[in-house]
Amino acid sequence: MLQRLGFAEKGRGSYAAGALVCLCLFAADPGSHAQDNALPPVFATWTCQYTGVRRTASVLPGKTLVQKKQRIVARWIKALKNRNSAVRKNATIALGELKSPRAVAPLVAALSDRDEIVRACAGESLVKIGAPAVPPLTAALKHNDPFVPALAALALSGIPDPRAHQAIMAALSERNTKAILGVHTYFVKLGQPGSESALTQTLQQFPNQVMAEEFLNSGNPTLAAAANAWAAKYKQKIVPNPTGDVVRWGSGNPTPPADLAQQPPADAPKAADQSPLKNQASDQPPPARKVTPDEAVDQ
């Protein structure tokens, strides 16, 4: 199995992924003598050039190594500090699969990671963990980092807990525009009377074409006027789409778009390149770099 992991370096990623499955099963077997030898190679594949192998390395330990859960959680948490962004991304994914409350604080800290994909994955994993993540995410709504409040609000909007909704509504009443940026669709769908002012202020502070077009087509005259004013100020073209697949004011069941998790607030308004979709990174292979099993965790 260890030899087959080497196939990833020879252009045969499927063989490496199959070997990885077997190693995870060996490590999960409490009666196997391969337990101690199986985990380090699994950790070493976090930086493999093949997407399938990296995903397998991220998910399988979280799903199969039940007997070693505490050890695995500790390893993944440590990996959040790794210099390689692919390792940090895999760590956030695996911690979401494990759903351990111990991972909440490290994942909240990862919301301010320098890599946008790591930040987004950390938020998604906090949603999977659920209720234990609500209090730390609520506190993060007032974080000074330019990314964290929007990502924390987005994560809270995906957790079916009354405290999460209360925290989001508190951000609205406090006009916390950094948090509102991450969940403006939530508020448009909610359609609460009087919330238009805070939503308009958010658009003015953080110019964003996706938000402007959503406001224009929401069916709310106040938001539509704010969108047209934004377009005139920044000389941008926004297209009315009253019959298409748009978010309507008060349509209910708010579900904010995940793409805004990767759109950082900007202190100085800029009209160019405002679509958060433009900056969404594709799952490209990480830079070719060989690491040892211990280095993959200890860096």
| pTM attached to this predicted model | 0.67
Q: How confident is the model at residue 77 (pLDDT cuts 50, 70, 90)?
A: very high
pLDDT for the residue 248: 92
- CB distance 263 to 276 below 8 Å: yes
**pLDDT tens profile 162-186:** 999 999 999 999 999 999 999 999 9
The SS3 call for residue 186 is helix
227 Cβ neighbours under 8 A, 6+ residues apart: 203, 212, 213, 215, 216, 238
Alpha carbon distance 116, 49 (integer Å): 19
Domains of the chain: 1-129 (1.25.10.10)
**pLDDT tens profile 80-104:** 999 999 999 989 998 998 899 999 9
Q: How confident is the model at residue 45 (pLDDT cuts 50, 70, 90)?
A: low
Instruction: Judge whether residue 29 has pLDDT over 60.
Output: no
pLDDT for the residue 120: 95
Which string of b and e fits 64-77 if b means at least 16 CB within 10 Å?
bbeebeeebbebbb
pLDDT for the residue 275: 33
Average pLDDT of 188-197?
Answer: 95
